[in-house]
Every structure is written in C-alpha cells, then in structure tokens.
Structure 1
Amino acid sequence: MTAVSQPVAIRAYVRLELRRTLRDRRTLLFSLLVPPAVFLWAGTSADHRATEVGPGTNLTASLLVSVALYGALLTAASGGAGVAVERAQGWTRQLRLTPLAPWAYVQAKVLAAMAVGAGSVLVTLAVGAFAGARMPASAWVLCAVVAWAGSLVFAAFGLLMGYLLPTDGVLRYLNLLLTALAFAGGLFLPFADGTPMAALSRVMPTYGLAELARAPLGGGSVELLAVVNVVVWAAVFLAGAAWRFRSETARV
C-alpha cells in the first residue's frame, strides 16, 4: 500500500475501534459517568460555589476543569491500553500482514481513544454547568478544547503502557499510575511555589496539561514551560508506542 492510501486505512481502523468501544458498556459507563460523579461528590459544596478564584469564576469551575481533564486523560489512556488485550490475542502481529503501517496503527488507536475522551469532557462539563460552576463563556469553550486535545498525550501513554504492563490487570495498574501522576503533577491541587513538590511536579506529564486547561480561568496566561512539557511528553509517548509496536511485530 502506498503512503497515499494510509489515511484510508486509518479511517477504517478508527471506525472499527469506535464500533468496538460503543459495544463495550463497561467502558462507556466508566468514561461518561465516573468523572461527573467525582465532580458532583467533590466540587459542588456551597463553599466551593461561593469562592471566587478569578473574574466570573468560582472554585467549583476550577475543580470541574480539573476533573474533566482527568476524565479525558483516563478515558483516552484506557482506550489506548486496549492494545494489551490485542497483544494477548495475537492481533497486533496479524496487523503486520495487512497494509496498515505501524505509525498508522498507532495514530488510529490514538484518534479512537481521543474520540471517546471528547465524550467524557462534554458530559462532565454539561453536568458542571447545571451544578453551579461559573466561568466566562470563552473559558467553557477553551477549557473543553484543551482538555480534549490534551487527551492525545495520554492516549499515546495508554498505548505505550499497553505494551509495557502485564496483560492481566493492565487497566488497574494504569488507573493507579495515572492517578499518581495526576496528583504529582498538581492536577487536582497545585503545589505552593518554592516547595520541593512544586519543582518535581513541573516534570510530570500531567503538569503542562493541567496548566493549559486551567489557563482560560485566569485570563489565558500560559507559561512556556507548560507548553514544552506537553510537547515533549507527547513526542516521548508517541515514539515509544510506535517503537514497541515495531519491536513486537518484527517477526511474523
């Protein structure tokens, strides 16, 4: 297959992935219900709704953005980690007999995972809009876009972990790892400047995304370090996933 026809193969594989995901009720419930439930449990108290953190923005909105981003990351990562099951079934080795290039397989898996992540973001934000979250209209749009686009990084992360983690219990390990990275990167609770944890958080793969997602709440100012963090980790995870795919399917 020529390079020109690879986009056709990618679209076909993305459709296959999405149909398979839509048939998985457990994945859909986890993606669409858990993040809003966490937000309703942790972010809708009267104190949170009354606390202002910026112009026209309350603490409930800030927590909503963090939870929406976390839901997108977790959903996208879990979708990418589905490669672990495909490895156990021998599916990835069979793909080497098809015209689908390794990079195209990685791209298709990432795009499908991001599509499900978009649903998680929209549902979570919709719940927040009816549960007392207040922020400027532009922030609603920008935060949603950043959270969805940021899921690219962790769709690739999940894909890589699907190759590295044991097949049995891969999602359990992945959830624990991602939760630890979320806290270490200051996604839920930013660390005070000048502390050792604040310095450590800046190298976590969740740090840049958390800063970018919350930036619209504070007027849109973004540190260059946050952008660099996202770009570097995205490149690392995408390259790692493509490398592991080539390594495991080199012999067919």
Structure 2
Amino acid sequence: MTTTTALDQVSLQRRVPPLGGFNLVYLGIELKRKLRNRQTLLFTIGFPIVMFVIVGLPMRDQALTDTPISQGGPSVAAYIMVSMAMYGAMMSATQTGSAVGLERAQGWSRQLRLTPLNPLVNVIVKMLAGMLLGLLAIVATYIAGAIGGIHLSAVQWIATGLTAWLLASAVFTTLGLMVGYLVPGQNAAQITSLSIVLLSFLGGLFYPIGSMPGFMQAIARFTPVYGISEITRVPLTGAGFDPLWLVGALVWLAVFLAGTTWAFRRDTKRV
C-alpha cells in the first residue's frame, strides 16, 4: 500500500516539459534517422532530377509565356523543373509514413506514450523532419536545373522554392504520418507512394488541367495537389493569385494534421 502511494505521488509530481516536449534534440534525432535511409534518399531526390533531365531539359529553349526567353521569360523546362521539385518534396515528405509504420511494429509509438510528450508535438516534430527532407529534394532539383541552363530571376527561384517547400512538404508529411499510423508496417510506404502518383496526375502537377476533360478538371480542383501546384507556379506563369488555392491547401493540412493526431492517440490508447 505504501509503495503504491509513493508511485502515485511520483507520477503526480512528474511535470509536463515546456512546449509539450518539443526540443531541437528530438527534431535532430528524427532528421538523422531519415538521412540514414540511403535508398529513400536516392529515390526521392534522384528520381525528380532524372525526370527533369529527360523530360525538361529538351524544352529549355521553348518559351512558357508570351515573353521570349531572350527577354527574361521562363521556359517550359523551368515549369517542369518546378513541378519535379515539388514532386520530390512530396515524395520525401510522405516517406515519413513508412517510418512511422515501422515504429508502430517495433512498439516505439507506445513507448512514446509513456512519456510526457504531447501527441500533437510528436506529430509536429515528425512533420518538421519530413519538411527538411523535402527541402533537400527541392534544392537538389534546382541545382540540377541551374547546371542545366535554366535561367530565372532571383525572385522566381526563391518564391517557387519556398512555396513548394512550405506548402507541399507540410501537407504531404502529415498525409504520410496519417497513413503510417493507420496502416501496419511496410504497407504505409506503398500506399503513400501510390497516393502521391495518383494525386499528382489528378491535381495537374505534370501538365495543365486545361488539357483534361471537364469532369477531371472539376475533380482536380478538390485535390491537395492542385492549389499548391498553382500557387508554386504563379511566379513563372504570371497568372493571378486565387485565394481559394491557399484555402484549399490549408484545409487539407488541417484535415491531415487532425487525422494524424487522432490516429496516433487511437494507436497508443491501450498504454
């Protein structure tokens, strides 16, 4: 009886750490774990570069807009480069899901629930690690573009890169996490990879949705890829900004974040 009372007192005295347990050390550990997976890095970073070189570079002399390339206009190759960079960021980010699936199989998620770590903080840390991995994919693709002769203004380089990173990486990291907490083991990686390919085609990442049939265009506008890709390419196309694009991206981010937090709690509620 005395022992039980003492344990209860210790449990009651245990304080929740500041910021729910968020710290840079934990973030650094998550990032290092992802960087050790060389197969994932090769696929998520190498594939967009290869696709850009094969599909994009042959079109570097073809103007994207009415402004000639000689007068500072972007090329079709630049359009493809940005799309491939965004695709790489999405793939890098969603690979977080496969890691979570393995953590669940090994019982690591339940171990975390024994700590004062806030479930939402755990999701945010993993999301930030996935975003940093996505940034690496974007930078690598842009370096390949610059070496290949893509000419953009400083504003275009920075604006397209930041938008692809902040929006695509955040949204699709949370998608990967949600799938990882819902699907067991290695299946998470297969599902997220297939989802990204399908959403990229449906959302018009690889080609303008204007070339799709009417019903496909309607579907595309409700995908998480559509708004992000349109915002990312505005600095290239010169099209007007539609606030609904951003609203759609933020709504999907909120949905995936809420779904991930719920799935994490459900997965570990028996602890």
Task: Report the TM-score range of the alignment, normalised by the length of the smaller protein.
Answer: over 0.9
Match of 1:183 among 192, 197, 201: 201
| 1:153 equivalenced with 2:171 (yes/no) | yes
Aligned residue number for residue 228 of structure 1: 247
Q: Which amino acid aligns with 1:196?
A: F
Question: Distance in 2 between the 1:192 and 1:35 partners?
Answer: 24
Contact 1:31 1:116 in 2 (8 A): no
Structure 1 residue matching 2:210: 3-state secondary structure: coil
Query: Deviation above 6 Å: which 4+ runs of structure 1?
Result: none
TM-score (norm 2): 0.87
Alignment of 1:1-252 (within 5 A): 1-2=15-16, 4-6=18-20, 9-45=22-58, 48-54=59-65, 55=67, 56-150=73-167, 151-192=169-210, 195-219=214-238, 221-252=240-271
- 5+ residue gaps, structure 1, are none
**Distance in 2 between the 1:147 and 1:80 partners?**
20
Q: Which has the larger radius of gyration?
A: 2
Amino acid at match of 1:219: G
Give me the whole-angstrom Cα distance separating, in 1, the residues matched to 2:19 and 2:74: 47
How far did 1:21 drift? 1.6
Q: 1 CA distance for matches of 2:107 and 2:243?
A: 42
Q: 1:201-245, CA deviations, whole angstroms, 9 ceiling, x for partnerless residues?
A: 000011111111101112363112211110100000001000100
Contact 1:80 1:113 in 2 (8 A): no
Closer/same/farther in 2, CA of residues 191 and 219 from structure 1, 3 Å limit: closer
CA–CA separation in structure 2 for the residues paired with 1:61 and 1:69 = 12
- Return the TM-score normalized by structure 1: 0.93
1:12 corresponds to which letter in structure 2?
V
Deviation of 1:159 (Å): 0.2
Query: Percent same amino acid at aligned positions?
Result: 40
- Tell me how far 1:27 sits from its aligned partner: 2.1
Question: Superposition RMSD on alpha carbons, in Å?
Answer: 1.7
